[in-house]
């Protein structure tokens, strides 16, 4: 009986939180996505059709996600050079003036990340999806890991979908297990000229 009580107490103390408010929208869009390699030039509005539901890098500003954020940015232009494995992101204002530019490396999905920690890169999957992921496992008073992943694809309507996922898991004070994850989806409409 004592062992059962201890087990129940550990289960009650364990933390598990999963939040995915746009899961059904993602499940409706992802199977019908377009291969991003079908075009070399895209242009999207910097704000999503509706807010993603949480504050995170790129949630409500596509220019911020591609590191070309400016207050007056109205669109983000993505110019892919597939043979050179690069992507140039450009933010533009309402008059189509260039505000900022950033060049990204496109890696094959099985490639290792660049050795230079200052490199900006995306993995380009075989089915035409851009991905990033970051993982950090740091021991301190607890043992745990935190991860962040982004998945970008072109919807059936030609818009850019960005799914942001973050999570963490571990053992707090080496006794209490915890797990949490969140996923948010933003759909950025295509702009004229893209």
Kindly provide the residue ranges of all beta strands, DSSP E only, lying in the chain, ordered along the sequence.
15-19, 41-45, 75-81, 86-92, 98-108, 121-124, 130-137, 143-154, 160-172, 176-188
> What is the model's pTM?
0.81
Task: Read off the pLDDT band of 20 (50, 70, 90).
Answer: low
Render pLDDT for 43-100 as a digit per residue (tens, 0 to 9).
Answer: 999 988 876 555 544 457 899 889 998 888 999 999 999 999 999 999 999 999 999 9
What average pLDDT does the segment 145-164 reach? 92
Structure confidence at residue 106 as a pLDDT band (50, 70, 90): very high
CB contact at 8 A, 99 and 70:
yes
């Amino acid at each position: 009986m004592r062992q059962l009580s201890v087990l129940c107490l550990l289960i009650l103390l364990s933390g598990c939180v999963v939040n995915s408010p746009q899961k059904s929208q993602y499940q409706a869009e992802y199977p019908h996505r377009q291969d991003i390699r079908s075009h070399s030039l895209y242009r999207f509005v910097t704000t999503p059709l509706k807010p993603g539901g949480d504050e995170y890098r790129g949630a409500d500003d596509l220019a911020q996600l591609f590191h070309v954020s400016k207050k007056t940015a109205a669109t983000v232009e993505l110019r892919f050079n597939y043979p050179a494995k690069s992507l140039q992101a450009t933010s533009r204002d309402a008059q189509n003036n260039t505000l900022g530019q950033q060049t990204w490396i496109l890696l094959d999905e099985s490639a290792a990340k660049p050795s230079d920690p200052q490199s900006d890169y995306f993995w380009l999957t075989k089915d035409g999806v851009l991905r990033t992921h970051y993982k950090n496992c740091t021991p301190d008073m607890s043992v745990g890991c935190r991860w962040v992943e982004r998945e970008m694809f072109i919807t059936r309507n030609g818009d850019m979908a960005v799914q942001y996922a973050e999570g963490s898991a571990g053992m707090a004070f080496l006794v209490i297990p915890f797990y949490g994850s969140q996923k948010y989806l933003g759909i950025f409409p295509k702009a004229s000229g893209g």
